[in-house]
Amino acid sequence: MATELTTIPPPLANRRRRLSASSVVLWVVLGLLIIAPVVSFLLLATSPRLFQQGPQYFTLHYVAEAFGGSTGRGIVDSLWVSLTVSVVAVAVATTFAWLIHRTNVYGRRVWAVLMWLLLIVPTWMMTLGWSDLLQPYGAASFFGVNTHFIYGEFFGPLGIVLVLSTAALPFAYFVISAGMRGLGSEFEDAARIHGASRWRTWQTVLPIIAPAILSAFAISFAETMSDFGVAFTLGYHANFPMATFTLFNAISNFPANFPVAAVIAIVLVLSTIPPILLQSRVMRRRSYAVLSGRTRPARQREFRPLGRVGATAGISAVFLIALGVPIFGAVAGSFVTNLGIYSSGPVQLSTTFYQQVLHPSIADKSLAAPLVLSNQLGLVVASVTGLLAIVLARRLITNVGGWSQRITDVFLLGSVAVPGVVLGVGYIFFYNLSFITGHIVDLYKTLPLLMLALVANSLPGQTRFMAGPVGQIQPSLAEASRVHGASRWRTWRTTSLPLFSRVLLWGWLLTFTKTIAELAIAQILYPPSQEPASVTIQAYLANFQLGTGTAMTVLTLLEMLVVIVVALGLYRLLTPKGWRRIGWSGVKS
């Protein structure tokens, strides 16, 4: 009897062993993908000699250097901008999620699709669009609008916060939408039945989606901290240094100052810890699993006609600013040949730049082959990332354990804040070590290594993106399936996959599009003579051939949209109807 009491039943013991083994495998994968390359880079902060970047094995000299002058100012600027942007993005995203999912506002499908468009437009392109509109002799001046004073204001902290807020908005929106989608109307009904006013009802219901709100805040903060597009364009022109720009500046001279860049990268990573601590503190208090087999569709609030029009106008205005302006700017830049040029004449519209895409001025530098390669990269990277992200997201939301989950959480968000250039250079340091190339695997300057780096770059954000929807699926669903005799595979296929399918699809599309637009890692790690599209476009933009580069950018964005439409079509054709009615949805409200 005593033996029975103290002995762990065999199935549980096996389960623990399996869990342990799976943890080891997972951390080995993460180690090779992210930890080893990033740590290799970060170690340079105090030990530059480890990678032949200085004479010292240990020094704090570069720490002091990183916190002085404009470098130190960049860190402070990034912190307060990220904080402001996160608050703004979460507030707007929560309002939008409520309006789009819970009211009869016009065009709900359209807004959700536009939110996806906003997600795939790179921040540097947003800036380009604003600049094309507001610059002297820009698109606005062709319509007789004097933008002189706005132009000055835009190239400052105001413009930076504006563009970064619009960039963070979709991240926050999708996380909060997921939280709101899982929140059936029974909670609101219960509050109203007990006499709560509408405001009081929201005060009661909003804390239920606290994980989503905090998650949105954390991801917005980390994404903003790591953004380089705005720091390099608006921040630079406004003499407003931000951390990612000062990091880039530290390694743009020759010889590059990798140790100072490493110190800045450490600050970026550490800055994500407070939001995570806040989130995990809140989530430890209670369970937030609300999505189950009995979840009922939410009831819509019916606006009166005037309110409906007003709410729709508000959403339209935000999208006009966030998306309309940059797209208009980019399209104008690709068709107007005298944009930004002093001229008393009218707008000169031409397809010259698009013709130059087909017949590029630089020999053997067309967009076709690079774009095909980028799509292939996107296909592989998005698929691998999707699978890994689901595994990680499930670990992240598991309530048992504690330290492992917290470490995973800190690690993932910290990784979101790592700029691409740090990951890219870290991959060189680690995967080009003689020991690695000589005794383990020689992947440096190959497509597989570029794919690994792109997976590493996407995985943290993708996991955070999926954690919300995955966290709302009650474990009882899978347990019920298992109790009824289904195997693990069958349980996953028939119970979990239908609920995951839409978040997997949208997550896949997110990674696919981001992979095609990614520049920092591609520039550093692309295999010789196998240039991705982003590198080709950059070659034109940097070579005073802005029109051709912009036309290439527009075509690439169009191609991304086509892929999104095809993928959604395939999903519709391949999946049973039931899959499209349950679980998380990115578009359908």
| Residue 263 touching another protein (CB under 8 A) | no
Which residue, 64 or 190, is less far from another protein as judged by CB?
64
Angle, helices 243-250 vs 258-270, to 10°: value is: 160
CA 476/CA 167 separation, integer angstroms: 37
Instruction: Specify the stretch interacting with another protein by CB under 8 A; choose among 11-19, 162-170, 431-439, 461-469.
Output: 431-439
* Range 386-405, binding another protein (CB under 8 A): none
* Range 565-584, binding another protein (CB under 8 A): 566, 569-570, 573-576, 578
- Cα distances from 3 to residues 12, 15, 49, in angstroms, run 16, 20, 57
- Quick one: CA torsion of 157, 163, 164, 169, rounded to 10 degrees? 140
Residue 473's φ and ψ, nearest 5 degrees, are -90, 120
| Residue 526 touching another protein (CB under 8 A) | yes
Which residue, 184 or 527, is less far from another protein as judged by CB?
527
Three-state DSSP class for 96? helix
CA 262/CA 227 separation, integer angstroms: 16
* Range 49-108, binding another protein (CB under 8 A): 51-53, 69-70
CA 405/CA 319 separation, integer angstroms: 37
CA 101/CA 99 separation, integer angstroms: 6
Which residue, 233 or 474, is less far from another protein as judged by CB?
233
CB of 387 to another protein, least distance (A): 13
Given 139, 265, 451, 504, the residue binding another protein (CB under 8 A): 451
Half-sphere exposure of 303 (CA within 13 A, CB side): 17
CA 38/CA 44 separation, integer angstroms: 10
How many binding residues for another protein (CB under 8 A)?
82
Enumerate residues 6+ apart whose C-beta is below 8 A from 355.
none
Q: At 342, which amino acid appears?
A: Y
Instruction: Specify the stretch interacting with another protein by CB under 8 A; choose among 116-124, 161-169, 456-464, 529-537.
Output: 529-537
| Residue 546 touching another protein (CB under 8 A) | yes
| Residue 425 touching another protein (CB under 8 A) | yes
Which residue, 194 or 488, is less far from another protein as judged by CB?
488
HEC readout, 265-329 = HHHHHHCCHHHHHHHHHHHHHCCCCCECCCCCCCCCECCCHHHHHHHHHHHHHHHHHHHHHHHHH
Instruction: Specify the stretch interacting with another protein by CB under 8 A; choose among 167-175, 438-446, 504-512, 552-560.
Output: 438-446
Instruction: Specify the stretch interacting with another protein by CB under 8 A; choose among 94-102, 120-128, 314-322, 526-534.
Output: 526-534
Half-sphere exposure of 509 (CA within 13 A, CB side): 27
Given 121, 290, 396, 539, the residue binding another protein (CB under 8 A): 539
CB of 76 to another protein, least distance (A): 15
Given 256, 278, 358, 558, the residue binding another protein (CB under 8 A): 256
CB of 58 to another protein, least distance (A): 19
CB of 71 to another protein, least distance (A): 10
Instruction: Specify the stretch interacting with another protein by CB under 8 A; choose among 86-94, 195-203, 237-245, 315-323.
Output: 237-245
Query: Shortest CA distance to 584 belongs to which of 467, 464, 461, 489?
Result: 467
Which residue, 44 or 114, is less far from another protein as judged by CB?
44
* Range 462-491, binding another protein (CB under 8 A): 481, 484-486, 490
CB of 25 to another protein, least distance (A): 21
Given 118, 178, 265, 541, the residue binding another protein (CB under 8 A): 541
Which residue, 154 or 258, is less far from another protein as judged by CB?
258
The token pair that represents 23 in the structure block: 């943890």
CA 330/CA 548 separation, integer angstroms: 11
Radius of gyration of the CA atoms of the chain, in A: 25
Instruction: Specify the stretch interacting with another protein by CB under 8 A; choose among 90-98, 130-138, 319-327, 468-476.
Output: 130-138
Instruction: Specify the stretch interacting with another protein by CB under 8 A; choose among 178-186, 398-406, 508-516, 544-552.
Output: 544-552
| Residue 361 touching another protein (CB under 8 A) | yes
Which residue, 51 or 288, is less far from another protein as judged by CB?
51
Cβ atoms within 10 A of the Cβ of 330, count? Answer: 21
In sign, the C-alpha dihedral spanning 7, 11, 14, 20 is negative
- What is the per-residue burial (b if ≥16 Cβ within 10 Å, else e) of 19-55? eeeeeeebeebbebbbbbbbebbbbbbbbbeebebbe
Which residue, 6 or 434, is less far from another protein as judged by CB?
434
Given 547, 564, 584, 589, the residue binding another protein (CB under 8 A): 547
CA 486/CA 572 separation, integer angstroms: 27
Query: Shortest CA distance to 449 belongs to which of 358, 548, 381?
Result: 381
Given 524, 537, 551, 564, the residue binding another protein (CB under 8 A): 524
Query: Shortest CA distance to 584 belongs to which of 402, 385, 393?
Result: 393
Which residue, 271 or 534, is less far from another protein as judged by CB?
534
| Residue 365 touching another protein (CB under 8 A) | yes
CB of 243 to another protein, least distance (A): 16
CA 258/CA 253 separation, integer angstroms: 10
Residue with tokens 């953004």: 227
Which residue, 272 or 496, is less far from another protein as judged by CB?
496
Which residue, 298 or 449, is less far from another protein as judged by CB?
449
CB of 186 to another protein, least distance (A): 24
| Residue 383 touching another protein (CB under 8 A) | yes
| Residue 253 touching another protein (CB under 8 A) | yes
Which residue, 179 or 259, is less far from another protein as judged by CB?
259
| Residue 258 touching another protein (CB under 8 A) | yes
Cβ atoms within 10 A of the Cβ of 437, count? Answer: 13
* Range 321-350, binding another protein (CB under 8 A): 337, 340-342
Given 273, 380, 410, 555, the residue binding another protein (CB under 8 A): 380
Give the length of the chain: 589
